[in-house]
Amino acid sequence: MSIRLRLTLWYSCLVAVTMIVLGSGIYFFVQYNTFSETKQQIHNQVGRIDVSSSIDYFNNFKINPTVRVGYEGMYAQVVNYVTDSIIRSSNLREAEIQLPYPSLQSNPKPGYVELTVNGTSFLVYQTPLILEESNKIIGLLQVAASTERERRFLEGLRTILIFASIVVIFLAFTLGLFIARKALRPIENVILATNRIENGSNLGMRIPRGKPNDEIGLLTDTLNGMLARIETTYNELDDAYKAQRRFVSDASHELRTPLTTIRGNIDLLEKMWQTELKAIKAGQAGGSSLILEPDRAGLSLEAMQDISEEAKRMSRLVADMLSLARADAGYEMEKEPVELLPLVEEVARRAHLLPRKAEWLVGDLSSLRGFVVNGNPDYLRQLVFIFIENAFKYTTSGEVELKAIKVDGQAGLVVRDTGIGMNSEEIPHIFERFYRADLSRGKTTGTGLGLSIAKWIIDEHNGSVEVKTREGEGTTFIVWLPEWFPLKDDSGIMEEPDRLDG
């Protein structure tokens, strides 16, 4: 059963109970007031009939009252239990109405009774006539009033109340159903919107907001906020999933290339050595030793060099992937105060040994004197080497320069080259994993992970990087690192000044 139907039934039951109580109250109130007036008339009529003055005790207990009525539709009669006779009012004799009366043995009591005579309703007040000397009932006075008109009125009123109650309950049910449907329509909108989101997988949809201050509006705001958070989380997970797929695809591609080279050279060496071993086993001339011919020796040496180079490349790639995996896992590198000038000078000296075609220049590094950063020295060396190797890689002629500047408490390590440069569309992607500029693909070797690792190291040191480049003219990277200041102990004991006597 739906909430709308349950609410309507509860509302209808409440209205039904209210109508029953209200209708019963109205009916009994009208009935009481209607018969109250009739009873008052009967009471007045009883007061006009003086039966006790007509009792003749010495004349065989004869009762000879004069029975007269003063109200229309009012009747009276006196029953003589002694003589077994009845004295009726004139209008009662004319109407030929026989009012029943209780027998003496039933010991009649004074009070009102309702009787139906010949299909007509009567309200009868009866009081026994008691002989004072013997306290014996000798007769009965009955005053009756026709209540047929009141009875029909009350029947009509009862019919009207019942019919009106049924109509009101039906209208309440219909109106309640309409009101419940209208009140719950925002919830239906919520259900429809969530169904569209579920079926269409469009988390960007939002539920239309109803009134701003009611519970449905608050529910809608809550659901919209939840959908916004779900959409954000979903998009982040989707981007992470796409990045992971791209990472796995690119890593597989990068690993497949050196593996192919290694396998090819291993197959070549295997074939060469199998031929030599077969010759030795057959005892052929020239096959009595494992000393190879100059051509074969050259090929073997070249194959081994290729294997060595590809193995080193794979080692670098695996090391880079391990660094990025640590970054993704939230690895926190150990840090300590590091003086920047000796570290950069060491990297500059070692950079002379890197394979390069451009001229290597070391500019002014004096601004780093006394500059201390809170960082990891190994990762800082790797950071500077990444930018220097990247500059050598894309500079086939010209120069690569390393210098330092200091601005507003930050040290800037400047690596400038006169290489191929980049266009403006490539700059937002240079720190993405496995990304290499289209102009360089096929011309330079590399995995495309260096700058991603550099960006992670910079972020871990609370630094930033600045890129200036122009296609065909070169690129300049400026790595900004904040200066570290040791915490000073501000606590101390204040000496109490000497007090002057007096």
Query: Within this chain, do residues 478 and 413 fall inside the same structural domain, yes or no?
Result: yes
Tell me which residue range forms the domain holding 125.
3-170
Query: Within this chain, do residues 17 and 149 fall inside the same structural domain, yes or no?
Result: yes
Query: Within this chain, do residues 209 and 316 fall inside the same structural domain, yes or no?
Result: yes
Length of the chain: 502
Query: Within this chain, do residues 338 and 408 fall inside the same structural domain, yes or no?
Result: yes
pLDDT of residue 359: 92
CATH, residue 38: 3.30.450
The residues, any chain, with a CB within 8 Å of residue 248's CB and separated by 6 or more, are none
Query: Within this chain, do residues 292 and 360 fall inside the same structural domain, yes or no?
Result: no
- Distance between CA atoms of 24 and 372, rounded to whole angstroms? 95
Specify the number of domains making up the chain. Answer: 3
Sheet holding 410-417, edge to edge: 359-362, 399-407, 410-417, 474-482, 464-470
pLDDT of residue 62: 43
Q: Which amino acid is at 189?
A: N
- In the listed set 126, 154, 170, which residue is the last one of a domain according to the structure? 170
Looking at per-residue pLDDT, the higher value among 209 and 406 belongs to: 406
Establish if 255 belongs to a structural domain.
yes
Q: What stretches of 76-142 show up as alpha helix (H) in DSSP?
A: 90-95
- 360 pLDDT above the threshold of 90: yes
DSSP states along 433-460: TT---TTTBTTB---S-HHHHHHHHHHH
Establish if 102 belongs to a structural domain.
yes
Contacts 24+ apart (CB under 8 A), 11-18: 11/172, 11/173, 11/176, 11/180, 12/169, 12/172, 12/173, 12/176, 15/168, 15/169, 15/172, 15/176, 16/165, 16/169, 16/172
pLDDT of residue 475: 92
Contacts 24+ apart (CB under 8 A), 250-256: 250/433, 250/434, 250/448, 251/317, 251/321, 251/434, 254/317, 254/434, 254/447, 254/448, 255/314, 255/317
pLDDT of residue 250: 62
Query: Within this chain, do residues 43 and 110 fall inside the same structural domain, yes or no?
Result: yes
Q: What digits encode the pLDDT tens for the residues 19-70?
A: 889 888 888 888 888 888 888 888 887 777 766 544 454 344 444 444 555 5
Global pTM value: 0.46
> Between β-strands 111-117 and 399-407, what pairing exists: parallel, antiparallel or unpaired?
unpaired
pLDDT of residue 249: 59
Establish if 282 belongs to a structural domain.
yes
pLDDT of residue 212: 57
Query: Within this chain, do residues 112 and 217 fall inside the same structural domain, yes or no?
Result: no
CATH, residue 279: 1.10.287.130
Establish if 386 belongs to a structural domain.
yes
> Between β-strands 399-407 and 359-362, what pairing exists: parallel, antiparallel or unpaired?
parallel
pLDDT range class, residue 501, cuts 50, 70, 90: very low
- Distance between CA atoms of 414 and 421, rounded to whole angstroms? 16
Q: How far is CA 261 from the centre of its chain?
A: 55
Query: Within this chain, do residues 137 and 163 fall inside the same structural domain, yes or no?
Result: yes
Place of tokens 């102990």: 489
> Between β-strands 410-417 and 372-375, what pairing exists: parallel, antiparallel or unpaired?
unpaired
- In the listed set 275, 308, 331, which residue is the last one of a domain according to the structure? 331
E strands, 368-443, where?
372-375, 399-407, 410-417
Establish if 388 belongs to a structural domain.
yes
H or E stretch including 144? strand 136-146
- Distance between CA atoms of 351 and 365, rounded to whole angstroms? 15
- In the listed set 297, 331, 365, which residue is the last one of a domain according to the structure? 331
Q: Which amino acid is at 174?
A: T
pLDDT range class, residue 502, cuts 50, 70, 90: very low
pLDDT range class, residue 182, cuts 50, 70, 90: confident
- Distance between CA atoms of 198 and 79, rounded to whole angstroms? 91
Establish if 176 belongs to a structural domain.
no
Q: What digits encode the pLDDT tens for the residues 363-397?
A: 999 999 999 999 999 889 989 999 999 899 889 88
Query: Within this chain, do residues 151 and 261 fall inside the same structural domain, yes or no?
Result: no
- Distance between CA atoms of 51 and 132, rounded to whole angstroms? 13
Query: Within this chain, do residues 157 and 213 fall inside the same structural domain, yes or no?
Result: no
pLDDT range class, residue 5, cuts 50, 70, 90: confident
CATH, residue 423: 3.30.565.10
Hey, what are 223's tokens?
């659901």
Query: Within this chain, do residues 146 and 224 fall inside the same structural domain, yes or no?
Result: no
Q: Which amino acid is at 357?
A: K
Query: Within this chain, do residues 97 and 124 fall inside the same structural domain, yes or no?
Result: yes
- Distance between CA atoms of 211 and 215, rounded to whole angstroms? 9
Establish if 182 belongs to a structural domain.
no
| Cβ 460 vs Cβ 379: under 8 Å | yes
Establish if 198 belongs to a structural domain.
no
- 492 pLDDT above the threshold of 80: no
Q: What stretches of 121-214 show up as alpha helix (H) in DSSP?
A: 148-183, 185-200
